[in-house]
Amino acid sequence: MIEDVKGIGFQRADELGRRLGLNGNHPDRIRAGLLFSLDTDSIRDGNVYSERDELIEKTRSLLMESAPEPVLQEEIDRELTALGDLDKVVMENTRIYLPSLYFAESGFAHHMKRIMKQTEYEEQFPESEFLLALGELEERIGVSYGNSQKEALKNSFNFSNASINWWTRDWENDSN
């Protein structure tokens, strides 16, 4: 229900689900809790991904606070794997992503690698390319960075191209 109706929170969906018989450790309830926890982590805390163990624990706490029935970590882990099989989440080592954030980040990394290969800009990173890539990222994930955030990101590129090379290598190594 959380996926189907925008704006409905987990507590309300869980209450309605209990009325329909989705109690305790029902797979649909656990999956909804996982997706809600992952979404909340990205929106509230600005994280692109969650660590698997932390996500499982957050989800377990969420499920336990709204219903007294115990939910085991193994059950949550099983449903997280099922969400991955259904392409509802992307699992990369211990990192769990919402698909939109995963593809936005990998696209951003791809653009940065392409830009860093441009030899005519070895000394200076073209601001127009940076703003274009950042704008595409904002549109994809539905956020709007403030001017100070954009300036901080831009300054980080001016500060050290080496750090960007490291980040894109890290992304490339993690995704293999």
Does 5 reside within a domain?
A: no
Q: Do 31 and 88 meet the contact criterion of CB atoms below 8 Å apart?
A: yes
Smallest CA-to-CA distance from 143 within 109, 100, 97 is with 100
Give yes or no: residues 90 and 142 share one domain.
no
Q: Which amino acid is at 87?
A: D
Indicate the residue among 97, 122, 157 that finishes a domain.
Answer: 97
Range of the domain at 144: 100-174
80 and 137 inside one domain: no
Question: Can you give the pLDDT at residue 1?
Answer: 44
DSSP 29-84: HHHHHHHHHHHHHHHHH--SEEEHHHHHHHHHHHHHHH-SS---HHHHHHHHHHHH
Please provide the size of the chain in residues: 176
Strands of the 90-92 sheet, one edge to the other: 49-51, 95-97, 90-92
Q: Domain boundary residue among 40, 65, 97? A: 97
Cβ-contact 135, 128 below 8 angstroms: no
The pLDDT, as a whole number, for residue 24 is: 77
CA–CA separation, 49 and 59 (whole Å): 14
Looking at the structure, do residues 14 and 65 belong to the same domain, yes or no? yes
List, for the chain, all residue ranges whose pLDDT scores fall below the cut of 70. 1-8, 11, 13, 17, 116, 118-126, 156-176
Identity of the amino acid at 108: F
Does one domain contain both 22 and 93? yes
| 3-class DSSP state of 133 | helix
Residues 79, 114 within the same domain: no
Q: Identify the domain boundary among 73, 97, 121.
A: 97
Q: What is the pLDDT of residue 106?
A: 82
Domain check: are 68 and 143 in the same one?
A: no
Select from 101, 174, 173 the least CA-distant residue to 143.
Answer: 101
Q: Are residues 30 and 70 in the same domain?
A: yes
What does the pLDDT look like over 39-81, one tens digit per residue? Answer: 888 877 777 899 999 999 999 998 888 777 888 899 999 999 9
Same domain? For 127 and 76 the reply is no
CATH number at 79 reads 1.10.10.2220
pLDDT at residue number 44: 79
3-state SS, residue 87:
coil
Residue 4 lies in a domain: no
Domain co-membership, 105 together with 90: no
- What's the total number of domains in the chain? 2
Paired tokens of 130? 């940076």
What is the pLDDT, as a whole number, of residue 35?
92
At 141, list the tokens.
Answer: 């994930």
